[in-house]
């Protein structure tokens, strides 16, 4: 039966047998999994990654909200009806008056 040190040595030999391109692909794969799983990162790095992920999610949500709002203001019969009647009553509805939160 192979010992853990024998397995590690065999894995190291397999890695060294890879050409430079395959090593690069393998290293990128390992780095991606470590990043996604949080392995080998300090609590500060995990917090930064979490904050960066939340920022990107918020940015994406905001862009989707603005796109939907703009589409509805131009194409939704109900929204067009309401904005037309609000305009008739003296209140102009614009996208600037409807910020996405």
> Which of 48-78 are b and which e, b meaning 16 or more Cβ less than 10 Å from the residue's Cβ?
eeeeeeeeeeeeeeeeeeeeeeeeeeeeeee
Given this model, what pLDDT does residue 1 score? 63
Q: Which of 25, 15, 100 is CA-nearest to residue 63? A: 100
CA distance 1 to 90: 85
Given this model, what pLDDT does residue 85 score? 95
Residues 66-91, mean pLDDT to the nearest whole number: 95
Residues 64-87, mean pLDDT to the nearest whole number: 95
Tell how far CA 65 is from the center of its chain: 16
On whether the pTM is more than 0.75, the answer is no
């Amino acid at each position: 039966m192979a010992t853990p040190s024998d397995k590690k040595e065999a894995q190291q030999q397999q890695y060294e047998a890879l050409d430079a391109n395959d090593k690069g692909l393998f290293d990128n794969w390992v780095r991606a999994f470590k990043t996604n799983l949080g392995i080998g990162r300090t609590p500060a790095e995990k917090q930064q990654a979490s904050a960066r992920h939340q920022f990107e999610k918020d940015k994406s949500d905001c862009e989707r909200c603005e796109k939907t709002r703009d589409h509805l203001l131009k194409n939704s019969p109900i929204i067009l009806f309401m904005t037309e009647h609000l305009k008739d009553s003296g209140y102009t509805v614009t996208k600037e008056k409807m910020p996405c939160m």
